[in-house]
Amino acid sequence: MKTVTIEYFAVLRECAGQHQECLSTSALTAGELFKELEKRYGFPELNSIKVAINDEFSTLNTPLTEGDIIVFIPPVAGG
């Protein structure tokens, strides 16, 4: 288990009901963590999701380490 900080934006923030949280997880990658959070908060099905770890864009296959700050960025529509 490792403790990470997650920041939420847009629809993900609405579903989670918060903009940030610290949690303990056994997820090995950012993608596994996102799946865990999808189940917890009922995130809508998204065509794509971007992730940044410790202020650097990463992939969902990036391994997580203790103390990481993860930001999941959903697609944004507007105009």
Q: Kindly report, residue by residue over 44-77, the tens digit of the pLDDT.
A: 888 889 999 999 999 999 999 999 999 999 987 5
Specify whether the CB–CB gap between 35 and 20 falls below 8 A. no
**What is the pLDDT at residue 76?**
74
Domain at 2-73: CATH architecture: Roll (3.10)
Domain ranges of the chain: 2-73
Task: Place 1 in a pLDDT band, splitting at 50, 70 and 90.
Answer: very high
**What is the pLDDT at residue 45?**
86
C-alpha 26/C-alpha 29 separation (Å) is: 9
Strand 69-73, strand 2-8: pairing: parallel
Mean of the pLDDT values across residues 5-12? 95
Residues linked to residue 50 through DSSP beta bridges, in sequence order: 73
pTM assigned to the model? 0.91
More confident residue, 78 or 14: 14
